[in-house]
Amino acid sequence: MTDPCPCSSGRPYKQCCGPLHRGERLAPTCEALMRSRYAAFARKQVDYLLATSHPELIAAHGGSDAFRRDLLRSCQDHRYPGLRVVEHREDSDQGEVLFEARVFRKGTDLSFAERSLFFREGGRWLYHSAIDR
Protein backbone atom coordinates (compact mmCIF):
# COMPACT_ATOMS: atom_id res chain seq x y z
CA MET A 1 0.00 0.00 0.00
CA THR A 2 2.91 2.37 0.55
CA ASP A 3 4.87 1.44 -2.58
CA PRO A 4 7.23 4.32 -3.38
CA CYS A 5 6.41 5.94 -6.70
CA PRO A 6 8.82 4.96 -9.48
CA CYS A 7 9.09 8.65 -10.46
CA SER A 8 11.40 9.20 -7.46
CA SER A 9 9.18 11.88 -5.91
CA GLY A 10 9.48 10.26 -2.48
CA ARG A 11 5.70 9.92 -2.29
CA PRO A 12 3.68 6.68 -2.32
CA TYR A 13 2.60 5.57 -5.80
CA LYS A 14 -1.08 5.55 -4.84
CA GLN A 15 -0.89 9.28 -4.00
CA CYS A 16 1.59 10.35 -6.67
CA CYS A 17 1.37 8.92 -10.20
CA GLY A 18 -1.27 6.29 -9.46
CA PRO A 19 -4.24 8.70 -9.79
CA LEU A 20 -2.91 9.90 -13.15
CA HIS A 21 -2.46 6.33 -14.40
CA ARG A 22 -6.00 5.45 -13.29
CA GLY A 23 -7.43 8.51 -15.07
CA GLU A 24 -8.63 10.12 -11.83
CA ARG A 25 -6.86 13.37 -12.67
CA LEU A 26 -4.64 14.94 -15.31
CA ALA A 27 -1.01 15.91 -14.87
CA PRO A 28 -1.11 19.60 -13.84
CA THR A 29 2.35 20.40 -15.25
CA CYS A 30 4.71 19.05 -17.89
CA GLU A 31 7.03 17.95 -15.07
CA ALA A 32 4.22 15.94 -13.49
CA LEU A 33 3.52 14.35 -16.87
CA MET A 34 7.22 13.50 -17.32
CA ARG A 35 7.30 11.86 -13.91
CA SER A 36 4.08 9.96 -14.53
CA ARG A 37 5.33 8.68 -17.90
CA TYR A 38 8.55 7.39 -16.32
CA ALA A 39 6.46 5.67 -13.64
CA ALA A 40 4.21 4.27 -16.38
CA PHE A 41 7.22 2.64 -18.07
CA ALA A 42 8.25 1.16 -14.72
CA ARG A 43 4.73 -0.15 -14.00
CA LYS A 44 4.01 -1.25 -17.58
CA GLN A 45 1.11 1.20 -18.05
CA VAL A 46 1.20 1.15 -21.87
CA ASP A 47 -2.29 2.61 -22.31
CA TYR A 48 -1.27 5.64 -20.24
CA LEU A 49 1.91 6.10 -22.27
CA LEU A 50 -0.07 6.00 -25.49
CA ALA A 51 -2.75 8.36 -24.15
CA THR A 52 -0.15 10.93 -23.08
CA SER A 53 1.79 10.88 -26.37
CA HIS A 54 1.35 13.65 -28.90
CA PRO A 55 -0.36 12.53 -32.15
CA GLU A 56 2.75 13.52 -34.14
CA LEU A 57 4.86 11.16 -32.02
CA ILE A 58 2.38 8.32 -32.52
CA ALA A 59 2.37 8.91 -36.29
CA ALA A 60 6.18 8.98 -36.37
CA HIS A 61 6.18 5.50 -34.80
CA GLY A 62 3.88 4.02 -37.44
CA GLY A 63 0.53 4.61 -35.76
CA SER A 64 -1.13 3.49 -32.53
CA ASP A 65 -0.77 -0.27 -32.96
CA ALA A 66 2.91 -0.19 -33.87
CA PHE A 67 3.68 2.34 -31.14
CA ARG A 68 1.77 0.28 -28.55
CA ARG A 69 3.90 -2.77 -29.44
CA ASP A 70 7.12 -0.72 -29.11
CA LEU A 71 6.03 0.71 -25.77
CA LEU A 72 5.07 -2.71 -24.43
CA ARG A 73 8.43 -4.12 -25.48
CA SER A 74 10.26 -1.27 -23.71
CA CYS A 75 8.22 -1.77 -20.56
CA GLN A 76 8.81 -5.51 -20.49
CA ASP A 77 12.49 -5.53 -21.47
CA HIS A 78 13.76 -2.75 -19.19
CA ARG A 79 13.96 -1.86 -15.51
CA TYR A 80 13.39 1.74 -14.44
CA PRO A 81 14.94 2.22 -10.99
CA GLY A 82 14.97 6.01 -10.71
CA LEU A 83 14.43 9.42 -12.22
CA ARG A 84 15.94 12.83 -11.53
CA VAL A 85 14.32 15.96 -12.90
CA VAL A 86 17.08 18.54 -13.42
CA GLU A 87 14.96 21.47 -14.61
CA HIS A 88 11.65 22.29 -16.17
CA ARG A 89 9.88 25.29 -17.62
CA GLU A 90 6.44 26.03 -18.98
CA ASP A 91 5.23 28.86 -21.15
CA SER A 92 1.47 28.73 -21.62
CA ASP A 93 0.87 25.56 -23.65
CA GLN A 94 4.46 24.47 -24.23
CA GLY A 95 6.98 23.08 -21.79
CA GLU A 96 10.37 21.44 -21.49
CA VAL A 97 11.78 19.04 -18.92
CA LEU A 98 15.43 18.10 -18.58
CA PHE A 99 15.76 14.79 -16.77
CA GLU A 100 18.11 11.91 -16.07
CA ALA A 101 16.48 8.49 -16.34
CA ARG A 102 17.99 5.35 -14.91
CA VAL A 103 17.23 2.43 -17.22
CA PHE A 104 18.65 -1.09 -17.33
CA ARG A 105 18.22 -3.96 -19.79
CA LYS A 106 19.51 -7.39 -18.79
CA GLY A 107 21.98 -5.81 -16.37
CA THR A 108 23.29 -3.29 -18.90
CA ASP A 109 23.03 0.35 -17.85
CA LEU A 110 21.18 2.31 -20.55
CA SER A 111 20.61 5.40 -18.41
CA PHE A 112 20.37 8.70 -20.25
CA ALA A 113 19.63 12.39 -19.97
CA GLU A 114 17.07 14.08 -22.18
CA ARG A 115 15.42 17.44 -22.67
CA SER A 116 11.82 16.70 -23.64
CA LEU A 117 9.23 18.87 -25.36
CA PHE A 118 5.60 18.87 -24.19
CA PHE A 119 2.47 20.55 -25.50
CA ARG A 120 -0.79 21.20 -23.68
CA GLU A 121 -3.75 20.45 -25.93
CA GLY A 122 -7.34 20.51 -24.76
CA GLY A 123 -6.14 21.05 -21.19
CA ARG A 124 -3.93 17.92 -21.25
CA TRP A 125 -0.14 17.80 -21.34
CA LEU A 126 1.28 15.49 -24.03
CA TYR A 127 4.84 14.29 -24.60
CA HIS A 128 6.03 15.32 -28.04
CA SER A 129 9.71 14.53 -28.46
CA ALA A 130 13.28 14.82 -27.28
CA ILE A 131 14.93 18.14 -28.08
CA ASP A 132 18.44 18.30 -29.49
CA ARG A 133 20.42 21.13 -27.92
104 located within any domain: yes
57 located within any domain: yes
67 located within any domain: yes
Q: What is the pLDDT along the chain (133 residues), one digit of tens a residue?
A: 589 999 999 999 999 999 999 999 999 999 999 999 999 999 999 999 999 999 999 999 999 999 999 999 999 999 999 999 999 999 999 999 999 999 999 999 999 999 999 999 999 999 999 997 5
38 located within any domain: yes
DSSP class per residue in 49-83: HHHTB-HHHHHHTTSHHHHHHHHHHHHHH-EEEEE
Q: Which helix (H) or strand (E) holds 108?
A: strand 108-109
Q: Which residues contact 25 (CB under 8 A, 6 or more apart)?
A: 19
State how far the Cα of 100 lies from the Cα of 105, in Å rounded to an integer: 16
29 located within any domain: yes
Q: What's the pLDDT at 24?
A: 97
Which residues form the domain of 28? Answer: 13-130
User: 114, 101 in Cβ contact below 8 A?
Assistant: yes
Q: What's the pLDDT at 57?
A: 97
Count the domains in the chain: 1
Q: What's the pLDDT at 68?
A: 97
Q: In CATH, what number is assigned to the domain containing residue 125? A: 3.10.450.50
64 located within any domain: yes
